[in-house]
Amino acid sequence: MKIKRLLFVAAVAALCAGCLIVMNIRYDRLSRYPYQDPKSRALIDEYLSDEDIEYIIEYSIAPSTFVPYIQAERFSVYHAPEYNYMEEAFSYRNYAPALIVKMVEETRDQIAVQDLAQLMLAYSYEEVKDWLDRGDPYYRNATLVLDPSALDTLVDDDHTIATHVPLHLEALTDIPQLTVEVNGEEKPILVDARLQQPLRQLCEAAEAEVSTRACGGLIVTEGYVSYPKQEELYKQAKEQYGSSAILYVDYPGHSEHQLGLAVDFAATGKQSEDFSTTPQSQWLQENAWRFGFVQSYTEDKVTETNKLARPEHYRYVGPALARQLVEEHHTLKEGTE
């Protein structure tokens, strides 16, 4: 009798275990999920954990908000709102879902997605990521400017565009310039496209008011300067001037030349002389503003700019702001604060 009872209990236990196994095999993890699209449900069942599925069920999260990203490496259903924010912000760029996930996941511990999107309106993702990872290797408290393409963008010791390369650089044309030979080929000076016409107008006026020579005897000696080139210049200045180097050159990434919005001038045939003593320099000081250019670094503003005077250096800010700065005797920083 006792043996029969034990056999009966064992049989019942085996039956229960079998039922549980069958139930588990047939259990639909998405039985409580209100969205019935078969394709989405198949992807959800394949890629989401039980915990993830409980989350989307509890909050009735529609597949359309996360399924487009579900197959991407490092995808997290909990970060779907951030993916969608980036997709909406840059719908015109047609970013692949996998790239959106990559950008969000690589940076979300460093920057809010809204701030990432704001910076990426002006910078490439690679430029932003490099900034987030490295910061400014030359001045750790520097601020990355939001819009490096704006005519009134301020770059100085405190404000940088990091390694950014302007989008609309062009070879300077119809203007006397000092070209550089690289591998047997002359390389023209590059500037932001918006400088071409104002520089031509400036040259025409200089020919009428200073000298009948081309551009009134003015020659452009420098335009856009890349970040790597600035690193070379800064290194040379450090070797020559030591801790005072910053008075003579800019930190890499902090130069107006990197914006493509600044040019340096010299007097034709007098490149080795003090430009400030030439008629061309005097004329520029009095008239450059008419064409949207201002002298960024003057003798009376060394304290404000932390730069020694550079009579050859002119920044394009547009006629309206140039006139305001000249009339108020302000630097760009003073005039835009």
This prediction has a pTM of 0.83
pLDDT of res. 19? 41
**Average pLDDT, stretch 35-48?**
91
Per-residue pLDDT band at 337 (split at 50, 70, 90): confident
**Residue 13 reports pLDDT greater than 60:** no
**Residue 80 reports pLDDT greater than 70:** yes
Per-residue pLDDT band at 36 (split at 50, 70, 90): confident
**Residue 26 reports pLDDT greater than 60:** no
Show the tokens assigned to 254.
């902090």
Per-residue pLDDT band at 4 (split at 50, 70, 90): low
Beta bridge partners of 295: 314
Task: Please state, for a pLDDT cut of 70, what percent of the chain lies above it.
Answer: 91
pLDDT of res. 190? 97
pLDDT of res. 143? 95
Q: Which CATH class is domain 165-224+260-336?
A: alpha beta
pLDDT of res. 27? 52
Show the tokens assigned to 211.
């000298």
pLDDT in tens, 130-187: 999 999 999 999 999 999 999 999 999 999 999 999 999 999 999 999 987 777 788 8
How far apart CA 48 and CA 307 sit, in angstroms, is 58
Per-residue pLDDT band at 23 (split at 50, 70, 90): very low
**Residue 15 reports pLDDT greater than 70:** no
Q: Domain coordinates of the chain in residue numbers?
A: 31-121, 165-224+260-336
Phi/psi zone of residue 72: left (φ > 0), alpha (ψ -120 to 50 degrees), beta? beta
Instruction: Give the SS3 label for residue 96.
Output: coil
**Residue 323 reports pLDDT greater than 80:** yes
**Residue 10 reports pLDDT greater than 80:** no
Query: What mean pLDDT, rounded, does the chain reach?
Result: 91
pLDDT of res. 35? 85
- Nearest one of 146, 171, 176 to 161, comparing CA atoms: 146
pLDDT of res. 2? 54
Task: Name the burial class of residue 100, with classes exposed (0-12), middle (13-18) and buried (19+) by CB atoms within 10 angstroms of its CB.
Answer: buried
Instruction: Give the SS3 label for residue 64.
Output: helix
pLDDT of res. 31? 83
Phi/psi zone of residue 218: left (φ > 0), alpha (ψ -120 to 50 degrees), beta? beta
Please report, to the nearest 10 degrees, the dihedral formed by the alpha carbons of residues 188, 192, 198, 199 taken in order.
-20
pLDDT in tens, 247-289: 999 999 999 999 999 999 999 887 666 899 999 999 999 999 9
pLDDT of res. 40? 92
**Residue 217 reports pLDDT greater than 60:** yes
- Nearest one of 48, 259, 251, 23 to 152, comparing CA atoms: 259
| The residue count for the chain | 337
**Average pLDDT, stretch 190-216?**
97
pLDDT of res. 22? 38
Rg (CA), the chain: 32
